[in-house]
Structure 1
């Protein structure tokens, strides 16, 4: 598998932007990495990287070659996983990229339940914003993603979608805490913490407000649900999150989830997805089926 190792050299240099840093990650000497890159460049007849004083940058040809390399590496991982499954080893790595709202309860619970019957399956989870989740899938840094309201993208394939409401969250002693539902106009009387534009929930708010005379004047705008929740607790304010971001009983301070009853406030989509042409490794495919059941129960 020497050729695979050389493809990994190219991929790591592209990710780090430095031959030296790539060599450190790969635990080889810099000269070996540079030599292999030069060999490949000589073989294909064009440079893959622009050498600069402070690192390297992919050329146009390099961008194409790295995309090829990552697909080859992903397919190898899939094949090795199938071989392990056939040999009864039942081992594997599932790589997931997900929005922060899934990190508090839904995703840890799904992994814990899956590992009860598949104890040798390991997980690598990347928590990030919506666009970063999609980027990780396209660059094969993650097998599957969980994202809220992703934009249309021909490179991304949806494996499952469930409808999600945007809810208002308040602390237990908040004046609105005893309500089942509130209108946005009732929330504006309190300090507001709203998602920034990198989060899918913000799009639902902006779309609704564009058709109304109501204007929000947030005291805090953030890409972190934890930041928004803690701000709402400390200020007696209101924050917004999708309904399955965290069950109220497990939220810091026992926060209460309130449905937003405004007519015309569209529901969003929580999407389980992968790169369009990706053949999922055996362990990942099994976890996908498990996760579909978890998401179905969470409707």
Structure 2
């Protein structure tokens, strides 16, 4: 199996179609198709299932794609080592993260890391929890930042810390001076800003609501975390977020965070994930350590 055939095949699996892969590779679609046909002949198996709107890998195709991804990772690792041998510290690190991590990531980690490692560039994509895990597993992202992700065999959490879901309250709220954790049910009649139903945090809240037999009242529903912050600081109601999302506002005494009593919400955690089995280049390994030390998301809460 030639490097070109594997590279073209992996691009097709990622893009979901030959034409889209050809555009990414900047080659003719016929050239991609020819490499796939030759690869299938060499392997002796059908590697792609042709669908009306694209292709998906067969079981054999998934095996070949995993092999192609390992080769791509090893090639990147070799390139990194050769650059270091020549005294060059450069490259691009691709991160995929939930929107709630962005301020923490940039302000508390990347700003300092970029100054210390000026030759490294970054690509940052925002995604849902499922999208983040898929991007890391498929090699489309080097590192992923996800909140309370489900377990998957093809990715693992290289760094994690418990980050309970908290009630974020405006100044002057009656529960600001509460002496202990508050049940989520206490907010059942209060106006709240909530994330959309497909968001992991909203689903976590939904499970606690179902267990308790009540429903929160969404006055505002939005995926924009900045609107969550402004909703609360304006005194319009409450929000439910982990501490790292509103760390700056809490430090500035613009908001108040109340711990929640519900076990489902107290055990949530933040994770930095990588693809299972991948050996990280030196620059990426250094970034992992930097994120673990400096991001508020990875400072375990009591």
TM-score, with length taken from structure 1: 0.84
Note the C-alpha offset of 1:103: 0.8
RMSD: 3.1
Note the C-alpha offset of 1:233: 5.8
- Which residue of structure 2 aligns with residue 169 of structure 1? 168
Quick check: 2:163–2:267 contact (8 Å CA) kept in 1? yes
- Which residue of structure 1 aligns with residue 286 of structure 2? 286
Against the structure 1 CA distance between its residues 180 and 99, is the aligned structure 2 distance closer, same or farther, given a 3 Å change threshold? farther
User: Gaps (5+ residues) in structure 2?
Assistant: none
Note the C-alpha offset of 1:102: 0.5
**Greater CA drift, 215-224 or 125-134:** 215-224
Equivalent residue runs for 1:155-166 within 5 Å: 155-166=154-165
- Which residue of structure 1 aligns with residue 93 of structure 2? 94
Matched, 1:260 2:253: no
Quick check: 2:136–2:275 contact (8 Å CA) kept in 1? yes
- Which residue of structure 2 aligns with residue 152 of structure 1? 151
- Which residue of structure 2 aligns with residue 240 of structure 1? 240
Matched, 1:47 2:46: yes
- Which residue of structure 1 aligns with residue 5 of structure 2? 6
* SS across alignment from 1:247: helix
Equivalent residue runs for 1:125-274 within 5 Å: 125-171=124-170, 175-176=172-173, 179=176, 183=182, 184-196=184-196, 198-202=198-202, 204-212=204-212, 214-232=214-232, 236-249=236-249, 255-262=254-261, 264=263, 266-274=266-274
* SS across alignment from 1:70: helix
Equivalent residue runs for 1:2-41 within 5 Å: 3-41=2-40
Against the structure 1 CA distance between its residues 188 and 43, is the aligned structure 2 distance closer, same or farther, given a 3 Å change threshold? same
Q: In structure 2, what is the Cα distance between the partners aligned to 1:206 and 1:178?
A: 22
* SS across alignment from 1:122: strand
Note the C-alpha offset of 1:13: 1.6
Against the structure 1 CA distance between its residues 108 and 133, is the aligned structure 2 distance closer, same or farther, given a 3 Å change threshold? farther
Once the two structures are superposed, residues 101-150 of structure 1 have per-residue CA deviations (whole angstroms, 9 ceiling, x without a partner) of 10123344311110111000111122211121111111111222221212
Q: In structure 1, what is the Cα distance between the partners aligned to 2:212 and 2:250?
A: 34
Quick check: 1:191–1:232 contact (8 Å CA) kept in 2? no
Note the C-alpha offset of 1:10: 0.9
- Which residue of structure 1 aligns with residue 103 of structure 2? 104
Q: In structure 1, what is the Cα distance between the partners aligned to 2:208 and 2:79?
A: 48
Against the structure 1 CA distance between its residues 30 and 256, is the aligned structure 2 distance closer, same or farther, given a 3 Å change threshold? same
* SS across alignment from 2:287: helix
Q: In structure 1, what is the Cα distance between the partners aligned to 2:42 and 2:272?
A: 40
Q: In structure 2, what is the Cα distance between the partners aligned to 1:130 and 1:42?
A: 37
Once the two structures are superposed, residues 214-251 of structure 1 have per-residue CA deviations (whole angstroms, 9 ceiling, x without a partner) of 54233344544345445556781211111001324399
Q: In structure 1, what is the Cα distance between the partners aligned to 2:16 and 2:123?
A: 23
Q: In structure 2, what is the Cα distance between the partners aligned to 1:170 and 1:270?
A: 22
* SS across alignment from 1:244: helix
